[in-house]
């Protein structure tokens, strides 16, 4: 039985986009020295949303200087109590303008409004609210009686959760007394620029937050700038490696949150319906553009058929389409480049002998789309079992014993997250103990909270974001 839904689009009139945006430096929007620009498009329609300035080395230098001055003159000396109040203000403004931010996020990123409205935005506001409270309590955080900030933080964030990643970077940095220069991803710069307006509305002192837009060259100029004391990066392991090399021999403190290839382990005693919901949430949430996505399903052999049948039935109910439609489950792929990457890896999956399946699914003609896909018959040597696809593609492997599940789960250079589905408590704890991953979701998946540390083992990076642990990366300890 198929239910027909009438379209239920969220209005985009709440968003008032300017035709073009400058860089946000020292409290003002300024033109880039080189005059370069690029456009940000809606990936669901390929419509140009706005023209955005491209920051060159000179602009980055200007932003770092502004951040340095603000650190030395204003933000560093400011009592934690007052820094807290600015962060609380920002949290409140985000709550007040949450619909506008959610719609803009879905427009620029392609994610379903249901997710930007119910997941991204509440978490963004909560993150600022959480770290605001730390600003005047740092002596109690367990890093000594008087932990000091580092100075100027260079922060480079990805396109999958644009505003949430901004919050994860800026909130702890500011709470601990650092100032920041942040570069959003080139395909999703718009909510960061709206955040710049929020900083103005909050009357945050000039130079405390600077936002420079651009692509890889801008990011490199920022990370390698000799005037920064801290580098925080979320993105691919490949770029993370390059950053780790570039900061070698410097005093810069680094935190890296990189790729993943999470195993989602389903034992034979798991409640199948709940597990299937968890599998779907694990890999199709945010189009699978999630570093901690449960992209490898490890299912116990004796229930594999039952789980797969149920999973396919569930996938056939996923609604793929207009991100602004409130019924949409899976939105648009963020960019043409990412779509090409997903296609290449999916083709490699077929070429290497895995069996591909997608539900019948009509995709819009314009924009970047990829139907939810699973591969069965995957071996550990297949590229789709080893490489991060960063799209709605699930690789299914099987196991017979718990020891084999753990062995396969850990057989990856990554170590960001993992999932466990079983009704047996002792088996959850036994498995969780053995998984080399920074976040383990048991009988749930893709849950996030500002109080909960997030970050990886091995080549998924180092340092933690969130919680008390998240302060450490921004303190001189």
Q: How far apart are CA 97 and CA 476, in angstroms?
A: 34
C-alpha pair distances (Å), 369 with each of 226, 241, 430: 41, 30, 40
Considering the rule CB under 8 A, would residue 438 count as an interface residue with other proteins? yes
Q: How far apart are CA 247 and CA 352, in angstroms?
A: 38
CB of 373 to other proteins, least distance (A): 27
- Binding to other proteins (CB under 8 A): which residues in 73-92? none
What is the maximal distance between C-alpha atoms in the chain? 66
The tokens for 99 are 């619909």
Q: Which is nearer to other proteins, 94 or 439 (CB)?
A: 439
Residue pair 62/218 in contact (Cβ under 8 Å)? The answer is no
Residue pair 263/240 in contact (Cβ under 8 Å)? The answer is no
Considering the rule CB under 8 A, would residue 142 count as an interface residue with other proteins? yes
Nearest to 419 by CA among 240, 203, 270: 270
Q: Which is nearer to other proteins, 10 or 115 (CB)?
A: 115
Residue position matching structure tokens 């103990």: 433
C-alpha pair distances (Å), 261 with each of 196, 243, 245, 458: 33, 21, 23, 12
The tokens for 408 are 């396969």
CB of 413 to other proteins, least distance (A): 7
Q: Of 144, 216, 271, 364, which one interacts with other proteins (CB under 8 A)? A: 144
Q: Which is nearer to other proteins, 46 or 449 (CB)?
A: 449
Residue pair 298/255 in contact (Cβ under 8 Å)? The answer is no
β strands within 146-292, DSSP E: 152-156, 179-183, 209-211, 230-234, 253-257, 263-266
Q: Of 146, 245, 362, 365, which one interacts with other proteins (CB under 8 A)? A: 245
Considering the rule CB under 8 A, would residue 237 count as an interface residue with other proteins? yes
- Binding to other proteins (CB under 8 A): which residues in 246-265? 248-249, 251, 256, 258
The tokens for 152 are 């100027």
CB of 436 to other proteins, least distance (A): 8
Residue 291 among the catalytic residues: yes
- 402, with CB counted inside 10 A (0-12, 13-18, 19+), is middle
Q: How far apart are CA 477 and CA 234, in angstroms?
A: 22
Q: Which is nearer to other proteins, 391 or 450 (CB)?
A: 450
Q: Which is nearer to other proteins, 246 or 310 (CB)?
A: 246
Binding mask 162-191 for other proteins (x = CB under 8 A): ------------------------------
Residue 292 among the catalytic residues: no
- Binding to other proteins (CB under 8 A): which residues in 107-126? 126
Considering the rule CB under 8 A, would residue 376 count as an interface residue with other proteins? no
Q: Of 393, 467, 473, 474, which one interacts with other proteins (CB under 8 A)? A: 467
CB of 199 to other proteins, least distance (A): 25
Q: How far apart are CA 13 and CA 27, in angstroms?
A: 27
DSSP letter at 377?
S
CB of 384 to other proteins, least distance (A): 22
Considering the rule CB under 8 A, would residue 428 count as an interface residue with other proteins? yes
Residues of this chain that bind other proteins (CB under 8 A): 126, 142, 144, 237, 240-242, 244-245, 248-249, 251, 256, 258, 413, 415, 428, 432, 435, 437-444, 447, 449, 451-455, 457-459, 461-462, 464, 467, 469, 472, 477
- Residues assigned a catalytic role: 257, 291
């Amino acid at each position: 039985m198929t239910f027909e839904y009438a379209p239920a689009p969220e209005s985009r009139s709440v968003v008032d986009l300017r035709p073009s945006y400058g860089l946000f430096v020292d409290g003002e929007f300024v033109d880039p020295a080189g005059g370069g620009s690029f456009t940000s498009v809606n990936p669901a329609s390929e419509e140009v949303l706005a023209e955005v300035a491209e920051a060159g080395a000179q602009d980055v230098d200007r932003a770092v200087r502004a951040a340095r001055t603000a650190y030395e003159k204003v933000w560093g000396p400011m009592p934690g109590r007052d820094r807290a109040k600015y962060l609380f203000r920002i949290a409140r403004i985000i709550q007040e303008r949450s619909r506008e931010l959610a719609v803009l996020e879905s427009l620029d990123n392609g994610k379903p409004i249901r997710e930007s409205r119910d997941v991204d935005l509440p978490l963004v506001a909560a993150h600022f609210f959480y770290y605001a409270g730390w600003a005047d309590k740092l002596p109690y955080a367990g890093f000594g009686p008087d932990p000091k900030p580092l100075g100027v933080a260079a922060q480079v964030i990805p396109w999958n959760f644009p505003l949430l990643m901004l919050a994860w970077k800026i909130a702890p940095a500011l709470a601990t007394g650092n100032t920041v220069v942040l570069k959003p991803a080139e395909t999703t710069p718009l909510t960061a620029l709206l955040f710049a307006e929020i900083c103005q509305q909050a009357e945050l002192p000039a130079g405390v937050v600077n936002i420079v837009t651009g692509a890889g060259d801008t990011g490199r100029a920022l990370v390698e700038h000799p005037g920064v004391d801290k580098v925080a990066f979320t993105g691919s392991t490949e770029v993370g490696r390059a950053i780790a090399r570039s900061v070698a021999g410097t005093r810069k403190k680094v935190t890296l949150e990189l790729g993943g290839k999470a195993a989602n382990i389903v034992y034979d005693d798991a409640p199948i319906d709940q597990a299937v919901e968890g599998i779907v949430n694990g890999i199709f949430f945010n189009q699978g553009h999630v570093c901690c996505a449960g992209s490898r399903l490890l299912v116990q052999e004796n229930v594999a058929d039952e789980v797969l049948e149920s999973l396919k039935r569930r996938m056939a109910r996923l609604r793929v389409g207009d991100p602004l439609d409130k019924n949409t489950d899976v939105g648009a792929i963020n960019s043409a480049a990412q779509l090409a990457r997903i296609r290449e890896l999916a083709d490699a999956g077929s070429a290497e002998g895995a069996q591909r399946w997608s539900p019948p699914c009509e995709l819009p003609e314009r924009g970047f789309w990829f139907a939810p896909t699973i591969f069965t018959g995957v071996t550990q040597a297949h590229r789709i079992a080893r490489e991060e696809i960063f799209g709605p593609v699930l690789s299914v492997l099987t196991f017979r014993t718990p020891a084999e599940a753990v062995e396969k789960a850990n057989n990856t250079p990554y170590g960001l997250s993992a999932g466990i589905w079983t009704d047996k408590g002792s088996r959850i704890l036994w498995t969780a103990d053995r998984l080399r991953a920074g976040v383990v979701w048991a009988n749930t998946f893709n849950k996030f909270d500002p109080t909960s540390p997030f970050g990886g083992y091995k080549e998924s990076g180092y340092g933690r974001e969130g919680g008390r642990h998240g302060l450490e990366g921004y303190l001189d300890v």
